[in-house]
Amino acid sequence: MLINKTSYKPNKSLATYVDRIYVLKHSGAFKLPAILPGTGLELLFHTHEPLLINNHKCDNGHVICPRNSILHIDEFSDVSFISVRFKSGAFRHFSSIPFIELNNQFASVEDIWGVKGKYFLEKLNEHHTINDKIKCIESFLLKCLYDYHNKQNDKWDTIMHSLYKQYNSISLKELAAYTNLSYRQFERNFKSQFGITPKKIQRIIRFEATVKKILLNRNPGYLSTALDHGYYDQSHFINEFQFFTEEKPSNYFVTKNYDHHFYDKSIKAPERY
């Protein structure tokens, strides 16, 4: 199975919030890899038949925001979509819908933006090349950023970034002190911003970072990587892995998953124009 996947840098004005835009194409019957829980959100636009995920028929434009469980994609004969991969918690700057209503959901573009989203999808369908479609998507997102971005919430981006980068060393009480809030107030405000408690997102960050490192390094001896990422012992990692995937790591870390997954290294993405 060969998946044709190309990543692009986002518009500079979106780079604070968007990790990358990628295009995935494949012709011929095959099964896409499962999507594991993580901290980000992806906005997908299907240029062919929409995916069927966990027996849910997706819309032509929709978000994927897995937090608690693995997502299985049904086998398709042809797959083609454009995905905007947002950084952790960043999508809240582009919509008025709180994250608690997006986590673990497949909200459509029309669910999120209403009539404005419907008109955008109609306009997107008028473009035929990938470059033109990406420009159209970025233009729409920049308008959304202008409409919904609240500078008062920017400090929470710093909190999320610190937690994402230092999840093993920084304490939640330290983060609460940074905000000049009591821990209970900090926890309540964090959940209001991201739809999840800081303790839970810390667990997800560690899980995501560990699995990503194992898969990208093709490391069959996963225990050493798990210990490096803060798991106490093998039993601790196995329990966490089963919590998020309902599967043992020994059953998951096999050739097919080393060969095909949705994790990416930081790369210099090609220019589009």
Helix (H) or strand (E) holding 10: none
**For every one of its 273 residues, what pLDDT tens digit does the chain have, with 9 covering 90 and above?**
456 889 999 999 999 999 999 999 887 767 788 899 999 999 999 988 888 898 889 999 999 999 988 888 887 768 899 999 999 999 999 999 999 999 999 999 999 999 999 999 999 999 999 999 999 999 999 999 999 999 999 999 999 999 999 999 999 998 999 899 999 999 999 999 999 999 999 999 999 999 999 999 998 889 999 999 999 999 999 999 999 999 999 999 998 888 888 888 775 555 554
Check residue 273 and give its pLDDT: 44
pLDDT at 270: 53
Q: Tell how strand 41-46 and strand 52-53 pair up.
A: unpaired
Give the pLDDT score at 268.
Answer: 58
The one-character DSSP state at 103 is T
The encoded tokens of residue 73 equal 């994609």
CA-closest candidate to residue 207, choices 38, 34, 69: 38
Give the pLDDT of residue 156: 95
- May I ask the CATH class of domain 4-148? mainly beta
Report long-range pairs for 207-212 (Cβ below 8 Å, ≥24 apart): 207/37, 207/240, 207/241, 207/244, 208/36, 208/37, 208/38, 208/39, 209/167, 210/237, 211/36, 211/241, 211/263, 212/263
Please tell me the pTM assigned to this model: 0.92
